[in-house]
Structure 1
Amino acid sequence: MASSSSSIEILEKVDSSIQCEDVMPEWLDGFLEKTFFGRCGSHDLQKNDLNRYCITCDSSNCKYCIASGSHNEHKLLTIYRHIYQDVVPLKEIEIHLDCSKIQPYKCNKKWVVSLKPLPHNGSGLHMDGDEACDVCKRKLNDFDRYRFCCLACKVQAFHEMNKSRVATRTLTEGMDKVEQTTNPNKRKRSRKGVPYRASFF
């Protein structure tokens, strides 16, 4: 019972953090599942790390794949490493997604957004309250401006919010059907009122 009440609290927070007009791109779930910085199987050359993501092809690529011209005019993201985690430059990702509630980090003089929670954030400690990420409860550096520590947390919050909305809608529709079956003779609209005969005088 305690877990359900805590999940309701999270959903209430999330609902205020994610605007109704926010729409997650279809490619985003696939992007978060990809692994980067492995060796490219197509190019047996030095520095052939898979550190590029092609949104159009939904594939991780190396710099030689991109230079070959097969991804010309495709939407691309560059992936960097920051504290052993994959990050993407804020300027690149915010073209495709609203990142206003995701806390950025400084990496090589660039602002980046982490794909998954950083291990050092809050020394790995989870905390309750407004100073923590709404989803994973890691400490936020600037909790007045941000609600999520990484891209994965915002996506998870978005999916949970959608599930709760669908469940609420289904529950409401079910209750309406039950009410209709239990009171089949109930009028849909109430009568206008009791008719009165007009006086003769």
Structure 2
Amino acid sequence: MSYSSSVEIHGKVDMTIQCEKVIPEWLDGLLEKTFFGRCESHDFSKNDLNRYCITCDSSNCKYCIASGTHNDHKLLTIYRHVYQDVVPLKEIENHLDCSTIQPYKCNKKWVVSLKPLPHNGSGSHMDGDEACHVCKRKLNDFDRYSFCCLACKVQAFYERSKSSVATGMLTEGRDEVEQPTNPNKRKRSRKGVPCRAAI
């Protein structure tokens, strides 16, 4: 599913979802990648795939990065926190607005989870303002944050974009419908004369 696309309505582009300004195109690639497997290109110890190259849309190990093929590329380091993939807040903030995503502390660094963390949803799904707007997991600081992870923010943006396209189509359809010349006149006549019950 691509999050950066223009939507065609009636053969012309009437409305464009400008996701690049809010959700970068590479982010859905990052969310689909699997990290911490063994790198098949380098048969060394500690060759975990824990780097993501934004430019190449690929998961890499530290030896792939050191080889020089990713010089001048945009890179993210992936860590593990509660058995989930996380990215340092300082790194991801250079590419994406994370002000609505709740960060977590991992080895004295603030990180943002790629997908919902299990401890945040251990049977405590809830409705209301105290929960993530998408997955309903409890937020620690619900006054400041709306989402528990990057995936939830992307999903919320995609759903909002889809609903705005649908609203645009409805509005466009309403504009094309001719308004009746006499608003007081009925469109259809009554089926018959109403009969009142005799007392």
Compute the TM-score of the two structures, normalised by the length of structure 1.
0.78
Measure the CA separation in 1 of the matches of 2:49 and 2:26: 18
Letter in 2 for 1:157: A
Q: Higher relative CO (CA 8 A, sep ≥ 6), structure 1 or 2?
A: 1
1:113 is aligned to 2:112? yes
Is 1:126 the counterpart of 2:155? The answer is: no
Sequence identity, in percent? 85
CA distance in structure 2 between the partners assigned to 1:114 and 1:145 by the alignment: 16
Distance 1:100 1:22 in 2: 15
Distance 1:22 1:136 in 2: 24
Structure 1: gaps spanning 5 or more residues: 1-19, 184-201
Matches of residues 1-201 of structure 1 in structure 2 within 5 Å?
Answer: 23-179=22-178
Measure how far apart 1:124 and its partner are: 3.6
- Higher share in strand: 2
Structure 2 stretches of 5 or more lacking a match? 1-18, 182-199
Shift of 1:67: 0.2
After TM superposition, which residue ranges in structure 1, 4 or more long, deviate above 3 angstroms?
Answer: none
| Kept after mapping to 2: 8 A contact 1:22/1:98 | no
Residue of structure 2 in register with 1:15 after alignment: none
Determine if contact 1:122/1:140 at 8 Å carries over to the other structure.
Answer: no
Q: CA deviation at 1:175?
A: 1.4
CA shift, 1:178, in A, is 2.2
Equivalent in the alignment of 1:199: none
In 1, distance between residues paired with 2:62 and 2:178? 62
Deviation track 1:31-58 (CA, whole Å, cap 9, x = no partner) reads 1000000010110110000000000000
What SS does the aligned partner of 1:120 have? Answer: helix
Question: Which secondary structure does the structure 1 equivalent of 2:118 belong to?
Answer: coil
Shift of the 85–165 alpha-carbon distance from structure 1 to 2, 3 Å rule, reads same
CA root-mean-square deviation: 1.7
SS in 2 for 1:154: helix
* Paired letter, 1:98: D
What does residue 190 of structure 1 align with?
Answer: none
CA deviations 1:133-164 (Å, max 9, x no partner) are: 00000000001110000000000000000001
Change (3 A) 1:130 1:64: same
In structure 1, give the amino acid aligned to 2:122: S
